[in-house]
């Protein structure tokens, strides 16, 4: 089960509640943000960006890096990509796969997807399995060893 630390999870849930009230898509407005600090790399049709609320744990291992591939054009699913976008997306994903990143994207029908704009998570793990963990959603207690 993916997990964030207490502070990060609390902030994420707060933002998630308020996002529904904000007009428009947060990723569509991304291009208009001054400085675009979160952008790691820009491509023709995609950005590779820092995840504002990265996971601390994924697949029972610590997370070293958590970034995302975000299409510049609004789309809810991978199936909406045209041929050029799919080609570029495959190249981006392939290059990060070679660097040891795990690749994850939620279906547009997934009820816990936080942003209805397709985005693919790239997660690099520390390869150290966590042998003991207690996790509770509320009050967001995470103990790991």
Least Cα distance to 57 among 140, 139, 111, 124 occurs for 124
Do the beta carbons of residue 30 and residue 70 sit within 8 Å? Answer: yes
Beta bridge partners of 129: 61
Task: Using alpha carbons, select from 71, 120, 75, 73 the residue that is nearest to residue 94.
Answer: 120
pLDDT digits 0-9 by tens, 103-124:
998 888 877 777 888 999 999 9
- Which band of pLDDT confidence, cut at 50, 70 and 90, is reported for residue 4? low
Spatial neighbors of 145 by CB under 8 A, at least 6 apart, are 130, 131, 132, 133
Q: Looking at domain 6-144, does it have CATH number 3.30.70.940?
A: no
Q: Which helix (H) or strand (E) holds 40?
A: strand 39-42
pLDDT digits over 27-80, tens only? 777 666 655 568 889 999 999 999 887 888 777 888 899 999 999 999 999 999
Residue 8: alpha-carbon gap to chain centroid: 14
Q: Single out the residue of 105, 102, 123 nearest to residue 54, CA to CA.
A: 123
- pLDDT digits 0-9 by tens, 87-108: 999 999 999 999 999 999 888 8
Which contacts of 13-22 are long-range, i.e. CB under 8 A and separated by 24 or more positions? 15/52, 15/53, 16/114, 19/114, 19/115
**pTM of model > 0.85:** no
């Amino acid at each position: 089960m993916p997990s964030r630390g207490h502070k990060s999870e609390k902030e994420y849930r707060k933002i998630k509640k308020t996002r529904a009230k904000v007009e428009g898509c947060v990723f569509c407005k991304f291009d208009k943000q001054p400085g675009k600090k979160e952008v790691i790399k820009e491509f023709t049709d995609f950005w590779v960006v820092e995840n504002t609320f990265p996971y601390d744990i994924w697949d029972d291992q610590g997370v070293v890096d958590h970034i995302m591939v975000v299409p510049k054009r609004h789309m809810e699913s991978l199936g909406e990509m045209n041929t050029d976008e799919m080609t570029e997306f495959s190249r981006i994903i392939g290059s990060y796969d070679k660097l040891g990143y795990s690749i994850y994207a939620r279906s547009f029908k997934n009820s816990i997807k936080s942003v209805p704009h397709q985005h693919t998570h790239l997660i690099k793990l520390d390869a150290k399995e966590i042998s003991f963990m207690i996790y509770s959603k509320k009050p967001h207690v995470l103990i790991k060893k």
